[in-house]
């Protein structure tokens, strides 16, 4: 079953800015779909059309079987959205933040209470329920933000750049939670990122978007194969250990713009 289907989806902003320029793609149930592209590529604009926050200029999008223009209210019941900027209330506790979202979705108190417990476990924030969010770290806030997008048990969740601005370690943690969501809860995930590494690690399939157009689409393996000449392979004498990991991370960061993936191979 397809959870998202677009047909020539387009958004033109005033001043003839073609932010999204006739894109076609499909996302299947249970899939993690990565939307990879540089700043200004049209990622957030695409998400906002799919989650009914803005109307397409032309083309169509069907989300969870429903046309986003014809019946936006129905679409919203089925989806969760975690915006690019953290949407949590700093001056409330984690529990209060989640409960507020639950009430937006008209859930009753008992249901909210039950789900809050499960969601705090899911994002590994158990014990922090009643702490004020201003005392959370950036990674904890993002995890709470993700939990908030899940309170109404959506079939599909949009995560707009979920790890931007986080340190490498916290990013890896968030990746684990996201992977878990798809596996443990069967939620379809539409994720945007400008980190190739993130798309490669998380996504079942990736669409690469630039200047509003999809310029490549496929599984990470297919995309890597199509640009096979740009794979860098290191042959270290020893692998493992903190120093090695740090070296790999740095090399990866340094090559991020030129090489799609960095493979490593034990030296013969």
Ligand X SMILES: Nc1ncnc2c1ncn2[C@@H]1O[C@H](COP(=O)(O)OP(=O)(O)OP(=O)(O)O)[C@@H](O)[C@H]1O
Length of the chain equals 268
Among 11, 31, 33, 44, interactor with Mg ion by CB under 5 A: 44
Minimum CB–partner distance for residue 94 and ligand X (Å): 26
What residues numbered 82-101 form the site for Mg ion, per CB under 5 A? Answer: 84
Minimum CB–partner distance for residue 79 and ligand X (Å): 18
Minimum CB–partner distance for residue 192 and Mg ion (Å): 6
Rounded (5°) CA angle 240-244-247: 155
Q: Using CB under 6 A, list all residues that contact ligand X.
A: 13, 17, 19, 37, 39-45, 84, 194
* Cβ contacts of 3 within 8 Å, gap of 6 or more: 27, 28, 29, 31, 63, 64, 155, 156, 188
Binding at 17: pick from Mg ion, ligand X, none (beta carbon under 5-8 Å per type): ligand X
Of all residues in this chain, which one has the CB nearest to Mg ion in the complex? 44
SS (H, E, C) 96-164: HHHHHHHHHCCCCHHHHHHHHHHHHHHCCCCCCCCCEHHHCCHHHHHHHHHHHCCCCCCCEEEEECCCC
**Contact between 45 and Mg ion per CB under 5 A:** no
Binding at 62: pick from ligand X, Mg ion, none (beta carbon under 5-8 Å per type): none
Which candidate, 51, 53, 42, places its Cα nearest to that of 12?
42
Minimum CB–partner distance for residue 24 and ligand X (Å): 17
d(CA 145, CA 162): 9
Minimum CB–partner distance for residue 37 and ligand X (Å): 5
φ, ψ for residue 104 (rounded to 5)? -55, -35
Binding at 168: pick from Mg ion, ligand X, none (beta carbon under 5-8 Å per type): none
Binding at 37: pick from Mg ion, ligand X, none (beta carbon under 5-8 Å per type): ligand X
Contact positions vs Mg ion (CB under 5 A): 43-44, 84
């Amino acid at each position: 079953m397809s959870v998202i289907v677009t047909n020539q989806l387009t958004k033109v902003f005033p001043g003839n800015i073609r932010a999204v320029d006739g894109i076609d793609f499909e996302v299947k149930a249970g899939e993690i779909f990565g939307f990879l592209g540089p700043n200004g590529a049209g990622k957030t604009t695409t998400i906002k059309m799919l989650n009914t926050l803005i109307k397409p200029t032309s083309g169509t999008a069907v989300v969870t079987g429903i046309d986003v223009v014809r019946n936006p209210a129905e679409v919203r019941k089925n989806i969760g959205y975690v915006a690019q900027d953290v949407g949590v209330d700093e001056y409330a506790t984690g529990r209060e933040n989640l409960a507020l979202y639950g009430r937006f979705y008209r859930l009753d108190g008992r249901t909210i209470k039950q789900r809050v417990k499960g969601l705090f476990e899911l994002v590994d924030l158990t014990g922090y329920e009643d702490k004020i969010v201003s005392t959370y770290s950036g990674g904890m806030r993002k995890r709470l933000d993700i939990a908030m997008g899940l309170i109404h048990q959506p079939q599909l969740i949009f995560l707009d750049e979920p790890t931007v601005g986080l340190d490498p370690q916290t990013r890896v943690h968030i990746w684990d939670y996201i992977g878990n969501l798809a596996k443990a809860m069967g939620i379809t995930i539409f994720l945007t990122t400008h980190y190739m590494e993130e798309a490669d690690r998380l996504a079942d399939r990736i669409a690469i978007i630039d200047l509003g157009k999809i310029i490549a689409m496929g599984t990470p393996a297919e995309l890597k194969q199509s640009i096979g000449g740009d794979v860098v392979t290191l042959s270290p004498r020893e692998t493992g250990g903190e120093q090695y990991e740090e070296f790999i991370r740095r090399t990866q960061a340094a090559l991020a713009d030129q090489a799609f993936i960095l493979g490593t191979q034990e030296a013969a």
